[in-house]
Amino acid sequence: MTITELPMATKIDYRDLYERWENANWSATGLDFTQDKTDWDEQFTDFERKAAIWNYSMFFHGEDSVAENLSPYIDAAPREEQKYFLTTQQVDEARHAVFFARFMREVVGLGSEDVASGLAATRPDLSWGFRKVFARLDQMADELRRDRSRPKLAAAITLYHLVVEATLAQPGQHFIEGYIKDRGVLPGFAEGMTNVSLDEQRHIGFGVRCLYDLNREDPDCAPAVADLLREVIPYAVGVFVPPGWDERYVTTFGKTIEEVFE
């Protein structure tokens, strides 16, 4: 069998993913939000600010959650290369949370010097679907601490890398990047979001390769993944439902909800 006949997942290499992480490091504390503050105050309407806070709050809380929940994944990973990459991912997620905390505090004006205050100030904006998905992520981390089997890890990787990152986060990131680029606003935030998106692409690539390897090593992984998807998809479709089903929270930035997830 030639390399072109192998599954696409085998073309993703753990060493390459790690090297990409080393070459793509960036500073969440080095971003300049000076112009962002001016744009936020002068270029956004009151409703646009409200809609943006709703959207950005889910990213802020999501990054905080995944940073806290990744440790048992590292412990459960059967290969050293997987453990090393997951360790870099935990660093990424913490950096993303710092990025969103800074933006909320310095530009939006929510939260004080500690991250917890920013999380508390934005918690009311979290959707029902978001709360359910991330409650399941918390539960999954606890399960993985007790059960480090390949099927449990496969279900956990599916929830984290394929549902949270690939299905929910990536479309939302592209949506935000698109309208701030089109408007020419929030340059510091735009730079940070671009970096976050590049990080997430590495994470998703890792998840695809890891699932491929786990499934080859244990046939019980496939049904574990299927069970997880059946459980969590009903919650996932509710993550991006705006407050009061008011679609203006999305359309005010030039897209319909359907277009965001195309």
Q: Over the stretch 203-232, which tens digit does the pLDDT of each residue have?
A: 999 999 999 999 999 999 999 999 999 999
109 has pLDDT over 70: yes
Which class for 70: exposed (0-12), middle (13-18), buried (19 or more C-beta within 10 A)? buried
Residue span of the structural domain in which 218 resides = 33-260
pLDDT at 5: 45
Q: Percentage of the chain with pLDDT > 70?
A: 98
3-class state of residue 1 by DSSP: coil
- Our count of domains for the chain comes to 1
Domain membership flag for residue 51: yes
Task: Round to whole Å and give the CA distance between 49 and 45.
Answer: 6
CATH number of the domain that residue 74 is part of:
1.10.620.20
Alpha carbon distance 189, 103 (integer Å): 7
Q: What is the pLDDT of residue 74?
A: 98
137: nearest Cα among 108, 157, 110, 121: 157
Position 43 in a domain:
yes
Q: In whole angstroms, how far apart are CA 51 and each of 31, 165, 243?
A: 23, 21, 9
Q: What average pLDDT does range 86-93 have in this prediction?
A: 98
The whole-number pLDDT of residue 2 equals 38
- Please indicate, yes or no, if residue 235 is contained in any of the structural domains: yes
Q: Report, as an integer, the average pLDDT of 124-128.
A: 97
Specify if 119 maps to a domain.
Answer: yes
Sign, CA dihedral 178-132-234-165, equals positive
In a domain, 20, yes or no: no
Q: Is residue 25 part of a domain?
A: no
Determine if residue 256 is left, alpha or beta; phi over 0 gives left, psi from -120 to 50 gives alpha, anything else beta: beta
**Domain presence at residue 177:** yes
Tally of residues, the chain: 262
In the predicted structure, residue 262 carries a pLDDT above the cut 90: no
Average pLDDT score over residue span 9-26:
93
